[in-house]
Structure 1
């Protein structure tokens, strides 16, 4: 069954790409999905892997210096011709072999059951509320803050399209997209926690996540050392040394969030009118 793997990124995270794909090649050698790297302008290739650089901002017009996170995601989806997309990010560094047979099993399941819009492949993403009719898959609870999660998951491409609002950043996409998906009553599943367990049995074993607040998460250091990956960690610095955000920056964030919440209320009102009789 055909599917795409989207490695979501932006050009300022270029320092992650070589380590990511070195570990990808090592730990997912039997991957048969088409790999897309969601760059903004930059080209990229890695020896022994067929990586398609999206270069989504090339030829596009948008307000401001950079395109929004959601716009870049939409442009990446435009480049794909498969109905199923496995979402990952450039700092989800693999640390053990991927269970490719299970990934392909769930891709096949989604093709056979079009009502399944998403399958979360980790126990670290969402809350569930009971068993589904499918083996080792639970039903994702509707009312939760991050029902839509950017951790590793298989998505139906048209579902992602329906959730995207091009003015949103990644955090708004997760939080507000979760609210929209609940109104849409989309069917999401998640691997059962008595089947997949962090550091015990994982379908896609990776670090959650390698870069936080623009700084390296400490777990990346021994992983890179183990695999001979050279990295100057001083350029970004380590998460444990991150300074507290300046007061004015925190105030600006809260004011922007108030505005975003107001826009989201109007969006939900529209969606409720559309889906209430479905």
Structure 2
């Protein structure tokens, strides 16, 4: 029986080198998932044996292969036929079995209580937290800078879409969604950290760091895992993230386009 939620993988055509590793591990560590998977892309299509993957290919509707992150998500929402999604990135590589029963329980709870958001990992929402009426969940305090976190989480896309803006990139989305949620009475939840933790008690288990950082492979997250799973990747195409060296930001460029983007986000 198909679940009452879908999986939404946030990606982009330029990260297609992550898809085979991601879905190889997804199929192994979430073997009983029978629902639909929506892979956010601009133009590319992709399939994987045994998985029901729909590539959103949003350029068909936006008319641009450079569709901004916010617009890609909003266009993806239009294609998804469930209110609830499990939101992941293409470089969140599972390395233990997903707690499918808990995910299903959370989906049922979100629908019954009209929840908007549940964070699924410790590395998402930062706190402070409060006990809630749900033993598995803590309520995230509105003072949290990551009241909304784009790490692994569950969303009611019909409710959360009101906080997204089409023009925003991933960093703007996370920053400004938080700003938009804070003045509201919206309740955001996250996993009870006393009950669920990585790796053995995780609900959505992947390494504490994502597989790609600043556009390069994060050695600690992928090399041993991929080798153990028989996944072959040409790491030279991206190279490895070098702490310190790759952490230096290039000089910020001021432009009218960026100014307009910021103004639009603040409106």
TM-score by length of 2: 0.91
Work out whether residues 43 and 59 of structure 2, in 8 Å CA contact, stay in contact via their aligned partners in 1. yes
Q: Deviations over 1:27-49 (max 9, x none)?
A: 00111331111111011100111
1:162 aligns with 2:168: no
Tell me the distance in 2 between the aligned counterparts of 1:199 and 1:250. 38
1:56 aligns with 2:55: no
Q: CA deviation at 1:160?
A: 2.6
Tell me how many residue pairs correspond in the alignment: 262
- Corresponding residue for 1:271? none
- Corresponding residue for 1:122? 121
| Alignment CA distance shift 1:241-1:123 (3 Å) | closer
Residues 120-129 or 6-15, more deviating: 120-129
| Alignment CA distance shift 1:159-1:242 (3 Å) | farther
Tell me the distance in 2 between the aligned counterparts of 1:242 and 1:129. 32
| Alignment CA distance shift 1:74-1:146 (3 Å) | same
Give the gaps of 5 or more residues in structure 2: none
| Alignment CA distance shift 1:264-1:56 (3 Å) | closer
Q: CA deviation at 1:16?
A: 0.4
Secondary structure class of the residue paired with 1:234: helix
Q: CA deviation at 1:229?
A: 0.3
Tell me the distance in 2 between the aligned counterparts of 1:209 and 1:160. 24
- Corresponding residue for 1:203? 203
Work out whether residues 88 and 151 of structure 1, in 8 Å CA contact, stay in contact via their aligned partners in 2. yes
Give the gaps of 5 or more residues in structure 1: 268-278
Q: Deviations over 1:131-163 (max 9, x none)?
A: 000012101111222221111111011223111
- Corresponding residue for 1:273? none
| Alignment CA distance shift 1:192-1:245 (3 Å) | closer
- Corresponding residue for 1:251? 252
Work out whether residues 8 and 37 of structure 2, in 8 Å CA contact, stay in contact via their aligned partners in 1. yes
